[in-house]
Structure 1
């Protein structure tokens, strides 16, 4: 990687880790709010859902803003908004302010993925490696955020814990403002403006690079959307091509992701192998540690997935990875009943495969969209992953209530097979 690549990767790694740290700290805090504020689970569920809904729904306008004003500005706003929301949360006297703070968090966090991924796709020459490191940082936040929150709560009141969690965002804002990046370096290199790109070739070849605007770090993209008719026109253009297949991949990826992770802790806790144990007078839940370990293994999956995008066609990687997830879904329950060794192995494979797909579809978005609407493209992508994908939790709960865990994993296998089929169609359409 060259200096600009390293600067961009450092910036997006910090921001991505913080987004998921905050995202996964909220469920830990919910158990406290239920007791402190004297509300029911349904009320608190609606409050939390409002924040999470905006996390997905805000991705599309976030993508439009990233194209119009530059990715770094959006990342700075994201970090400042998340830190401010948690500072407000520490002062919450009741549920209405908690709701307001979580809505603010969701709105701020929603702009990160389209802006961060657009920045990688247009500014980094070795994009596969960058996607890998980016994903690994996100997984660190996913795994370590809840753990850090739980540990801090052993020593401090929840309000102080939330305020402490807000502090790193302020430091990250200072770093984001100070780091020097060229947001369109990879586009310029591929167009021959600054010579040959350093390292592997860029995958961002979906359109006319020369139309992407200036090279200034916070440059307004030449293809940015400035009106509703332009948004409609650009969206229609995106979905009239192969991007519609990529969007299908990300939707079913999101359904699988939310569907399996939402109820997996409960399914594990119901197994006799993971009955609570008492240690030092405290009840330890082994299933929670297995769940956390599964997410940590996902770091390796993110890295391998990113490296694969530099070595094989992403279409083949998508088809193969989702076919693997379908097999894992079908074998997971039999493994759960086969003993500790089998369930540890199956969980490790699930964690690895669940996250290996993310750099693959992120690179596919860059490959099948023009640079001038890259932010809009990633906005649609994360609308699909987190917005449409959020339905996976509801579908999973519905299936578990009416049928059985076996039926749930069959449905999950179906999601993965549909995504694999989209990948297979993409591979057939792929230019020779």
Structure 2
């Protein structure tokens, strides 16, 4: 924390970066607002776990599909405007979700929330890059990432806590009101810098352009074709192919765990919603530690080995959870709850330990000419995995029960471990 504060003090625009980082937290908070209340939705609306998973699938599908159009709109209208509009849309969608009288209405609200959320990363990360010099951009991105982790960790505590006392509708209303209040603060407090205008265009104060512009004066269609062409500018080697599969599986695994952690603890192990969300928070808090700690290890030791070990530990911890109901009856609720806390802490460390290793490995394979395109393809692959995970394991939970589906995510972990091992055999990056 001391190092983070030092980084914050050293950046060029601490006020603006702080606001952008908090907005990152709001965006990530909204991205994970449904999982803490999944058991309540299943009971109150009479839906299956497959339908609950589809709520997240629709959200992430919209989130992914609209990112590129959102980036084009931000180039035209201005990044701050689009960022604010997106956060307001997400908050408004939660307000609509809180009034949903049917599953279909909730599904529509999630689709709208995903479209709103799609605007964030094309605008937020670009604003950080525009605000900071090369010498301070790394520090600013560290603060930005920490803001996102805070939002993720806060969701089960805030949403789960309010839902346990006042119900899931009140929890969504509280989240929506809090988000709208932040949007108002951001709109007033964020000071748009003076961006250098592109050749042949008139710059707007927050990064938009007043007149139609683009690459070599082309319109939006030509600009879109240009971006797609740049996205495919890398060589698909065996190592890149394996990394693509690993990226897909890590995202599928992560979103499946997020979506059904609370449901598993409530319906599979018999814990209350408040206790379940407390354990969910333990997993997410451990993930913040893993993001920093494992990233350092990846710079000192063999990354493929670290990834394989992290995925292997994930599979063991998840597989071991099938015995928890029996353990509950043998030793009592509180000892089992303590075991759950340790297990979910290990799960957070191991699951999130795979991500910095994977990102570091992608960097190994990225050349100076192809780094942007390679990371872009990996981001798209990650989005597909994020959308598929909740739907796939939601269907399993509906057929076999969430008490079986959640531990079955261990099968994905084993595939990830095998992928890291295979990556070691196909050779190092050229």
**Normalising by the residue count of structure 2, what TM-score does the alignment of the two structures yield?**
0.69
Is 1:140 the counterpart of 2:150? The answer is yes
Partner of 1:323: 308
Partner of 2:4: none
- 1:107 Cα deviation (Å)? 0.7
Distance 1:300 1:265, change over 3 A: same
What stretches of structure 2 of length at least 5 have no aligned partner?
Answer: 1-6, 328-335
Is 1:171 the counterpart of 2:199? The answer is no
Q: Tell me if the contact between 2:83 and 2:119 (Cα under 8 Å) persists in the aligned partners.
A: yes
Partner of 2:93: 85
- 1:80 Cα deviation (Å)? 1.3
Q: Tell me if the contact between 1:18 and 1:141 (Cα under 8 Å) persists in the aligned partners.
A: yes
Partner of 1:385: 382
Distance 1:323 1:83, change over 3 A: same
Q: Residue deviations 1:188-212, cap 9 Å, x none? A: 9xxxxxxxxxxxxxxxxxxxx9999
- 1:183 Cα deviation (Å)? 9.0
Q: Tell me if the contact between 1:13 and 1:138 (Cα under 8 Å) persists in the aligned partners.
A: yes
The farther-off stretch of 217-226 and 232-241 is 217-226
Residues in 2 aligned to 1:89 and 1:123: alpha-carbon distance in whole angstroms: 35
Partner of 2:191: 180
Partner of 1:418: 419
Partner of 2:107: 99
Partner of 1:236: 229
Correspondence list, 1:110-149, <5 A: 110-121=118-129, 123-124=131-132, 125=134, 126-149=136-159
Residues in 1 aligned to 2:23 and 2:14: alpha-carbon distance in whole angstroms: 14
Aligned length: 393
The farther-off stretch of 165-174 and 41-50 is 41-50
Residues in 2 aligned to 1:349 and 1:132: alpha-carbon distance in whole angstroms: 24
Q: Tell me if the contact between 2:39 and 2:266 (Cα under 8 Å) persists in the aligned partners.
A: no
Residues in 2 aligned to 1:183 and 1:321: alpha-carbon distance in whole angstroms: 44
Q: Tell me if the contact between 1:325 and 1:353 (Cα under 8 Å) persists in the aligned partners.
A: yes
- 1:293 Cα deviation (Å)? 0.5
- 1:108 Cα deviation (Å)? 0.2
The farther-off stretch of 350-359 and 70-79 is 350-359
Partner of 1:298: 287
What stretches of structure 1 of length at least 5 have no aligned partner?
Answer: 189-208, 277-282
Residues in 2 aligned to 1:420 and 1:109: alpha-carbon distance in whole angstroms: 35
Q: Tell me if the contact between 1:318 and 1:420 (Cα under 8 Å) persists in the aligned partners.
A: no
**Normalising by the residue count of structure 1, what TM-score does the alignment of the two structures yield?**
0.69
Partner of 2:220: 227
Residues in 2 aligned to 1:250 and 1:57: alpha-carbon distance in whole angstroms: 18
Correspondence list, 1:342-381, <5 A: 347-356=344-353, 358=355, 368=366, 381=378
SS in 1 for 2:191: coil
Distance 1:321 1:391, change over 3 A: farther
SS in 2 for 1:75: helix
Residues in 1 aligned to 2:90 and 2:263: alpha-carbon distance in whole angstroms: 29
Q: Residue deviations 1:101-150, cap 9 Å, x none? A: 22211110122233323444554444444444333332332232232123
